[in-house]
Structure 1
Amino acid sequence: MITRRILMASVAALGLAGAAFADGHAKTKVGFVYVGPVGDGGWTYEHDQGRLAVEEAFGDAVETVYVENVAEGPDSERVMTQMALDGADLIFTTSFGYMDPTINVAKKFPNVKFEHATGYKRADNVSTYSARFYEGRAVQGHIAGKMTKSNIIGYIASYPIPEVIRGINAAYLHAKAVNPDVEFKIIWAFTWFDPQKEADSAKALIEQGADVVLQHTDSTAPQAAAQAAGNVVTFGQASDMAEYAPFPRVSSIIDNWAPYYIARTKAVMDGTWESVDTWDGIPTGMVKIGEITDAVPADVKAEALAMVEAMRKGEYHPFTGPINKQDGSAWLAEGETASDGDLAGMSFYVEGLTGDIPN
C-alpha cells in the first residue's frame, strides 16, 4: 500500500484562494455521496463538516453538492453517475460499500476525479483515503478496561470488514492489557446507521452485563440508551457526540476530514491532482480524540493522553507484539509492529476474543 501524507499546516492559507480562483475561472464543482443523513451526529455529519470547510476555504470558486442516505450498491452508482453528468469535477464517495460503484462510474467519466473513503481499489482517476481509526480505538480500550466494574465491555459492530475488525482488536488488546479479566461481547448490527437497531443492540449488551459500550455505528442512539440505563460508559463515534458528555460519553473518536477535502479540492483546481492512497491518523490530525471528561479518573486520563502523544510522535503502534491470533497461532513477535498490508486485510480476531466473525 502506498501511503501519502497530506500536509495539514497549509489549510489556513487556503482560505485566501477563493478570490483568486473566482477571478476568470469557472467554479470547481465538488460532489459528496453520503451513506447516512447529514444530521446523524456521527460519520456523515463529520464528512459534511468537511464539505462546509471546502466552501469556507474557497468561497465563490467552488460549488458543492451532496446526496444523503444513499444505499450502498446500485443506488449509489446512479447517484454518482448523475453527479458526473451534472458537471462535478471531483466526487467524494464516503462509505466502504461504494467502492465498486465508484470504480464503475469512474470508467465512464475519465475526466472526473473520484475519491473513495475506506476502500482499496484505485484507478487513474480514483484515489482512496481513510483514517487510522484503530488508533482511537486503542485509547478507548485503555479507558474502557480501566473503568469497567463488571469486566464486560460491549461492542456494536457494523459490518465484518477489516476496518471494523481492526477497531475491535485494537480496543480489546488495550482493554485486556490493563484489565486481564475483561471480556468483550460483540453484536453485529449489519448497518452503518439505524438508530432503532443501534439502540436495541446497546440495550442487549447492557442486559448482558456490559457497563461500557463501544460502537462502530453512526448514530447517537447507543449514547441515549446508555444514558437511560444509568451507570454505563460510552464513547462518541466518528464525531464528538458531546451532547452526552460528561457522562455517559467520556471521550470520542473524531474524524477530521476537512483538511484532506480542502487539499484534494485545491489539487483539482490547480491541476496537480493525482491518484493516491492516503491512510492518516493521530499524527496528522485526521483522527482526533475528543475531550476526556472528568468522569474518567485522573490517572486513567493521564495514561490515555500519554498514549495519544506517543502515537502522535510515532513512538507507539497499537498493534505491537507479542500478539497471537484467536486460534493461538503467532501473529506478531515481541516488539514487532503490524504492517499496513496486514492491517488493511485484517480478517481475524486476536487471541482472547470469543465468537466468530460473520461472513
Structure 2
Amino acid sequence: MSKSFMRGALSAIAILPAVALAPAMAADSAPLNVGYVYVSPIGEAGWTFQHDMGRKELEKNLGNKVKTKFVENVPEGADAERVIRDLAQQGNKLIFTTSFGYMNPTLKVAKQFPDVKFVHLTGYKTASNVATLNARFYEGRYLAGVLAGKMTKTNVAGYVGAFPIPEVLQGINAFTRGMRSVNPKAEVRVIWVNSWYDPGKERDAAITLMGQGADIVTHHTDSHAVVQAAEEKGKYAVAYHSDMKKFGPKAQLAAVTHHWGKYYTQAAQDVIDGKWKPTSVWGGIKDGFVTLEAINAGVPNDVKQSVAAAEKDIVSGKMTPFDGPVKDNEGKIRQEKGPMPDSALNKMDFYVEGVAGKLPGK
C-alpha cells in the first residue's frame, strides 16, 4: 500500500466525524415550525385579525428561531380536525387552534401526535400535550358597559351574539352590569346570529336592534359589520376584538381589544427551551390580554374618569364584574356575595338582571 493512499485514507477517516455531525448541527439550528388554525378570514379587523397580529409579533420577537404557517376560515368540526392533522403532519411542533369549537378536534389530533405541542383557545380541556389559553374578555366588557351606560340617551343597548356559550354570556352579562352600575335604567337586548363570522347576519341584527331603540350596539362576532352599520345609522358602537374605527370613525365609542403576541412568543420560546407545559392560562386586563382603547374623542372627561376608576378597581382586585349579589333576569340570586368563582363563570347559562328576553332553549 502506497504512503499517498494511506494519507488519503487517514484524511477521509479524520473528516468523518465532522461530516456525521453536520446533520445534527443543522437540526439544532432549524427553526421551530409553528402552525395556526383560524376560524374566519384574517380580514382587516376582528378576532382572527388579532390572532394574526399575535403571530406576526411572535415572528418579530423570535426571528429565525421560528417559522409560522396559518390556515384561515376553517369551520369548526371535521374540517378543523383535518387541518390540524395536516399541520402536525407537515412538521409543525407547536400548533395554536383559535376557536372554542376546535377543542375536541385538537384533543383527538393531539393523541395521534404526542411529540407536538398544542394550545387551544378558548376551551377548558387539557392533555399531556394540550394547553388552554383564554382571556377575561368580560373585564373589558364591563368597562365598555360603564362607558355605554353614561353615553346612552335611550337607555337601550343592542348586543349581537354568535352562540350562547359561557364565554359570550360572560360578555353580555358583564356589559349589562357595567351599564347598570352607572345607569340603573339601562337595558340590553340580544340577537343571536348562530355564527362566528357572517357579516350579512351581523349587519341585519345590528340594524334590527337599532330599530328597537338601541342607540349603542356591540357584538361578540368576528367581523366589523356591526360597527359599520352603526356608522351608517348615526349610532354608537363598541367594537370587539380589535380597533375598528376605520370602519366607523364617528360610531366607534371604544374598542374592547385582545392581545396575544406576548403569550405566543413565550409559548414558542418554552418549546424551543424544552420548558413547555400544558398550562391553563386565563389572563385579564392586568395581564395585558384585554384592553379598552380608542375611546371616541367626543366622550366627556368625567365619563372617561368613571371608566378609568372601574378599570383601576378591577386591576387592583378591589372588584370584579361579577361580585355578588348577582341576580338573573328572572329574579334568582346566582351569587350572593363576593366574586363569582371561575367554576361558575365557565358554566354561565343565564342572563343577568337588565338583559331583555330569554336564552335560546330556556
Same fold (TM over 0.5): yes
Amino acid of the residue matched to residue 154 of structure 2? S
Matching residue within 141, 148, 152 for 2:152 = 148
Equivalent residues of 1:131, 1:286 under 8 A apart: yes
What one-letter code is carried by the residue in structure 2 that aligns with 1:136? Answer: G
Q: Is the 8 A contact 2:186 2:354 kept in 1?
A: no
2-structure distance, mates of 1:172, 1:67: 35
Deviations 1:218-270 (A, max 9, x none): 1111111111101x111111011131465210211110000000010111100
Q: Decide whether the 8 Å contact of 2:53 with 2:261 is kept in 1.
A: yes
Counterpart position of 1:323: 326
The partner residue of 1:113 within 112, 117, 123 is 117
Compute the displacement of 1:22 (Å): 9.0
Question: 1:40 deviation in Å?
Answer: 4.6
The alpha-carbon distance between structure 1 residues 245 and 299, as it changes in their structure 2 partners (threshold 3 A), is farther
Query: 1:325 and 1:331 mapped to 2: Cα distance?
Result: 7
Residue 98 of structure 2: which of 90, 94, 113 is its match?
Answer: 94
The aligned residue for residue 269 of structure 1 is 272
Segments of structure 2 that go 5 or more residues without pairing to the other structure are: 1-24
Aligned partner of 2:340 in structure 1 is 338
SS across alignment from 1:337: coil
Change in Cα spacing, 1:250 to 1:351, as seen in structure 2 (3 Å) is closer
Deviations along 1:329-357, whole A, 9 cap, x unmatched?
A: 222224x1111111111111112323221
- What is the CA–CA distance in structure 1 between the aligned matches of 2:107 and 2:285, rounded to whole Å? 29
Which residue pairs with 1:187 in the alignment?
191
From 46, 50, 58, give the equivalent of 1:46: 50
CA contact (8 A) 2:143 2:175 kept: yes
- Deviation, 1:155, is 0.4
Q: Tell me if 1:288 matches 2:291.
A: yes
**Runs of 5+ consecutive residues of structure 1 not aligned to the other structure:** 1-20
What is the distance in 2 between the residues matched to 1:40 and 1:208?
A: 29
1:3 equivalent in structure 2? none
**How many percent identity over aligned positions?**
45
Q: Distance in 2 between matches of 1:32 and 1:256?
A: 16
Distance of aligned partners of 1:224 and 1:281 in 2 relative to their CA distance in 1, 3 Å threshold: same
Structure 2 residue aligned with 1:26, among 27, 30, 49? 30
Provide the rounded CA distance (Å) in 1 between the counterparts of 2:26 and 2:283.
31
Which of 69, 72, 80 is the equivalent residue of 1:68?
A: 72
What secondary structure, in the 3-state scheme, does the structure 1 residue paired with 2:265 have?
helix
Q: Which amino acid aligns with 1:116?
A: H
In 1, Cα distance between equivalents of 2:232 and 2:207: 10
Counterpart Cα distance in 2 of 1:284 and 1:23: 35
Q: Does 1:309 align with 2:318?
A: no
Alpha-carbon distance in 2 for matches of 1:226, 1:251: 13
Q: Distance in 1 between matches of 2:264 and 2:186?
A: 39
Return the alpha-carbon distance in structure 2 between the equivalents of residues 22 and 130 of structure 1: 36
Q: Give 1:15's aligned residue.
A: none
What is the alpha-carbon distance in structure 1 between the residues aligned to residue 200 and residue 221 of structure 2? Answer: 12
Match of 2:352 in 1: 350
Q: Alpha carbons of 1:331 and 1:60: their partners in 2 closer, same or farther (altered >3 Å)? A: same
Instruction: Answer yes or no: is 1:220 the counterpart of 2:224.
Output: yes
1:161 corresponding residue in structure 2? 165
Contact (CA 8 Å) 2:228, 2:248: kept in 1 or not?
Answer: no
> How many aligned positions are there?
337
- Are the equivalent residues in 2 in contact too, given 1:247–1:295 (CA < 8 A)? no
CA distance in 2, matches of 1:223, 1:353: 21
Report if aligned partners of 2:231, 2:249 keep a CA contact under 8 Å in 1.
Answer: no
Once residues 279 and 64 of structure 1 are traced to their aligned partners in structure 2, the CA distance between those partners, rounded to angstroms, is 24
For 1:242, what is the secondary structure of its paired residue?
A: coil
Distance 1:299 1:109, change over 3 A: same
Instruction: Give 1:145's aligned amino acid.
Output: G
SS at 1:321 equivalent: coil
Structure 1 segments of 4+ aligned residues over 4 angstroms from their partners: 21-24
Q: Which of 206, 213, 228 is the matching residue for 1:209?
A: 213
- Please tell me whether the aligned partners of residues 33 and 67 of structure 1 are also in contact (alpha carbons under 8 angstroms): yes
Distance 2:358 2:285 in 1: 30
Tell whether the 8 Å contact from 2:328 to 2:350 is kept in structure 1 after alignment: yes
SS in 1 for 2:359: coil
